[in-house]
């Protein structure tokens, strides 16, 4: 059965979060950023002493057992992510979380834990959900699937311009290298690797303004 979800996937710094939020606003439907859910788990794991050196399923198991992670509607009707009953904050966008999120997201028990929760969100009706495996794993029967990308240089420039995402002293070269490493981890992991769905619309946003990309996706949906 076709799911009334607009799935937007793509690699880091491809612009998918900004475009997904803009598309949801244009269509007046909720927007779910699954990357924030992985970042929240990563933040919770870091607070329990998990690092790159001990990032294993066994280390994450007690974190997942205790973590309460929900998207709930606020008074404006928008979905807001809450971790242990509190709205998430800028800590999710820190360079430390960004450096660890891919290893955490590659763990099978983390992906299984979130897959169940992400699929349950479709009960709310039509929504925009973006991430790295929405059209391939979470909602393979989604009615609309898009895969956003951009050149490595463009993606590095975008990430460098994002406040809080990079370590102090970051350069275009170091950010590009970090993005390339995240691409490698995301595309080669055993569970739900990053790749376009066979029936996804591929969109290269290099050189395009956000509104141009939003307009393109909105036209495809309205058609």
pLDDT score at 215: 97
pTM of the model: 0.90
Distance CA 46, CA 104 (A): 10
- The sheet carrying 86-87 orders its strands as 69-73, 79-83, 86-87
Which tokens is 173 given?
């070269």
Backbone angles phi, psi at 27, to 5 degrees: -90, -5
- Per-residue pLDDT, averaged over 191-195, amounts to 92
pLDDT score at 1: 54
CA angle 80, 129, 9 (to 5 degrees): 135
Q: What percent of the chain has pLDDT over 70?
A: 97
Q: Does CATH number 3.40.50.300 belong to domain 3-222?
A: yes
Identify the band that residue 160 occupies on the pLDDT scale cut at 50, 70 and 90.
Answer: confident
C-alpha distances (whole Å) from 163 to each of 85, 104, 191, 223 are 26, 22, 30, 36
- Per-residue pLDDT, averaged over 53-74, amounts to 94
* Closest to 204 in 3D by CA, of 154, 162, 157: 154
pLDDT score at 203: 97
């Amino acid at each position: 059965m076709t799911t009334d979800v607009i799935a937007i996937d793509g690699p880091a710094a491809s612009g998918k979060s900004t475009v997904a939020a803009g598309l949801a606003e244009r269509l007046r439907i909720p927007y779910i950023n699954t990357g924030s859910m992985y970042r929240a788990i990563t933040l919770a794991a870091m607070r329990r002493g998990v690092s790159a050196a001990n990032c294993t399923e066994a280390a994450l198991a007690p974190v997942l057992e205790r973590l309460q992670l929900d998207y709930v509607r606020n008074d404006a009707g928008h979905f807001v992510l809450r971790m242990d009953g509190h709205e998430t904050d800028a800590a999710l966008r820190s360079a430390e979380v960004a450096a660890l999120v891919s290893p955490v997201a590659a763990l099978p028990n983390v992906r299984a834990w979130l897959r169940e929760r992400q699929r349950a969100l479709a009960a709310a009706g039509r929504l925009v959900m973006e991430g790295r495996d929405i059209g391939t794993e979470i909602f393979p029967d989604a009615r609309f699937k898009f895969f956003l990308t951009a050149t490595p240089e463009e993606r590095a420039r975008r990430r460098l311009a994002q406040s809080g995402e990079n370590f102090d002293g970051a350069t275009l070269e170091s950010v590009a290298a970090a993005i390339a490493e995240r691409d490698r981890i995301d595309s080669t992991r055993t569970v739900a690797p990053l790749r376009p769905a066979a029936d996804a619309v591929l969109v290269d946003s290099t050189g395009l303004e956000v509104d141009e990309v939003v307009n393109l996706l909105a036209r495809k949906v309205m058609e």
